[in-house]
């Protein structure tokens, strides 16, 4: 096994808990359209791009929509979502996450973000982490969203690391699949913690320190 030198973090549901904001914003749009939408459907949207998320929601819509109308719905959701993101502050990153990130950095690991979101930089700026990571790969630099490995492969490239040297941290099934497809190890938490394809299961974010040996041991 190759030495692990880097961690690539999903953002939504791993570093910050924006899941509820995604839910509220989609719910508002779905209610207006008379479309059934609930938490179980919301779980299927984890790691999935905005337009693919909309297609999943529209499985419960009886009419036919043009691409223009779909774009308008996605835009409507994003506007509500960003209003909610505006309320975020550095306090929205838990002490556990902050301390663990700093400890990993102190142990000499490179750290990157690998997120499907086009709002990733905005969120990182709101919580004061925009300049913290060594690389950011997000929805603005990919053509294919998770479970395609592109976002993580790009993150590894930006870091100058091989995929085999990286551990991806994910809360989504689609994200674990993406990591494995990219040749990386996957540490799963939250919703994805029960996924058998994960290489490591995290009960808390700081469990990462157990799979990240100190410098001298590496």
Residues belonging to the active site:
10, 12
Which of Mg ion, ligand BG6, none does residue 171 bind (CB under 5 to 8 Å by kind)? Mg ion
**Residue 171 binding Mg ion, by CB under 5 A:** yes
* Minimum CB–partner distance for residue 146 and ligand BG6 (Å): 8
The pair of structure tokens assigned to 105 is: 């950095």
Which of Mg ion, ligand BG6, none does residue 42 bind (CB under 5 to 8 Å by kind)? none
What's the rounded Cα separation, in Å, for the pair 186 and 127?
25
What's the rounded Cα separation, in Å, for the pair 117 and 122?
10
CA 121, 124, 125: angle at the middle one, nearest 5? Answer: 85
**Residue 50 binding ligand BG6, by CB under 6 A:** yes
Q: Print burial letters for 167-177: b (CB count within 10 Å at least 16), e (below 16).
A: bbbbbbbbbbb
What's the rounded Cα separation, in Å, for the pair 185 and 165?
9
Q: Which is nearer to ligand BG6, 119 or 165 (CB)?
A: 119
Q: Which is nearer to ligand BG6, 107 or 121 (CB)?
A: 121
Q: Which is nearer to ligand BG6, 138 or 165 (CB)?
A: 138
Give contact residues for ligand BG6 (rule: CB under 6 A). 11-12, 22, 45-50, 53, 78, 115-119, 139
């Amino acid at each position: 096994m190759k030495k692990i030198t880097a961690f690539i973090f999903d953002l939504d549901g791993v570093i910050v808990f924006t899941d509820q904001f995604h839910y509220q914003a989609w719910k508002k749009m779905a209610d207006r359209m008379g479309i059934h939408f609930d938490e179980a459907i919301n779980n299927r949207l984890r790691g999935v791009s905005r337009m693919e998320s909309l297609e999943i929601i529209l499985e419960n819509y009886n009419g036919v929509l043009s691409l223009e109308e779909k774009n308008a719905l996605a835009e409507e959701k994003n506007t509500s979502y960003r209003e909610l993101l505006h309320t975020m502050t550095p306090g929205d990153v838990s002490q556990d996450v902050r301390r663990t990130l700093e400890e990993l950095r102190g142990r000499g690991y490179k750290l990157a973000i690998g997120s499907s979101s086009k709002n990733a930089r905005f969120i990182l700026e709101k919580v004061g982490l925009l300049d913290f990571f060594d690389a950011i790969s997000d929805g603005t630099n990919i053509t294919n969203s998770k479970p395609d490995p592109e976002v993580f492969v790009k993150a590894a490239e930006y870091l100058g690391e091989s995929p085999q040297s990286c551990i991806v941290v994910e809360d989504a099934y689609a994200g674990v699949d993406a990591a494995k497809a990219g040749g990386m190890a996957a540490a799963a938490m939250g919703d994805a913690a029960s996924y058998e394809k994960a290489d490591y299961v995290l009960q808390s974010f700081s469990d990462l320190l157990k799979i990240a040996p100190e410098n001298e041991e590496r």
